[in-house]
């Protein structure tokens, strides 16, 4: 059984550019959530994808968007990068995407984005 894998592990972009981060969910999981973790802070929920549709979103602007594919892998896209977007981006997968609140999340190691 494989865990959650994310790519790339590190990347550097300049302000105004666009970035795509990728996530492969754990085998058997059908839901993917994305979190942003700034240095020294706890992760913040960006959004969740279930059955290839966004079904929950945190307080992030529309320039943060995502996709989920039929194999349950996912992408996070961020347009018009700002300096404050520098953070560790974590992907988490789980089996059930319904709002039952009983899901144990499996997190990946993250993608560290630096915006200069």
Partner 1 sequence: KQEVTQIPAALSVPEGENLVLNCSFTDSAIYNLQWFRQDPGKGLTSLLLIQSSQREQTSGRLNASLDKSSGRSTLYIAASQPGDSATYLCAANSGGYNKLIFGAGTRLAVHP
**Binding footprint of partner 1 on the chain (CB under 8 A):** 4, 31, 33, 35, 40-45, 48, 55-56, 58, 90, 92, 94, 97, 99-110, 112
- Residue 94 CA from chain centroid, whole number: 13
For partner 1, which is the closer residue by CB, 20 or 103? 103
Q: Are 115 and 13 in contact (CB under 8 A)?
A: yes
Least Å from the CB of residue 115 to partner 1: 18
Distance between CA atoms of residues 86 and 60, nearest Å: 14
How do beta strands 53-57 and 44-50 pair? antiparallel
> Residue 80: helix, strand or coil by DSSP?
coil
Nearer to partner 1, 17 or 100 (CB): 100
Which two structure tokens, joined as six digits, stand for 89?
């981006």
Residue number, 62 or 102, with CB nearest to partner 1? 102
Least Cβ distance, residue 14 to partner 1 (angstroms): 23
């Amino acid at each position: 059984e494989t865990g959650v894998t994310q790519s790339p592990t590190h990347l550097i972009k300049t302000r105004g550019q666009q970035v795509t981060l990728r996530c492969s969910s754990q085998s058997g999981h059908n839901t993917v959530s994305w979190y942003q973790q700034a240095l020294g802070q706890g992760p913040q929920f960006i959004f969740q994808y279930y059955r290839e549709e966004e079904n929950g979103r945190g307080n992030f602007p529309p320039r943060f968007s995502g996709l989920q594919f039929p194999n349950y892998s996912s992408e996070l896209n961020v347009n018009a990068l700002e300096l404050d977007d520098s953070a560790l981006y974590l992907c988490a997968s789980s089996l059930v995407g319904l709002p039952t609140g009983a899901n144990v999340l499996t997190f990946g190691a993250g993608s560290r984005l630096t915006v200069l």
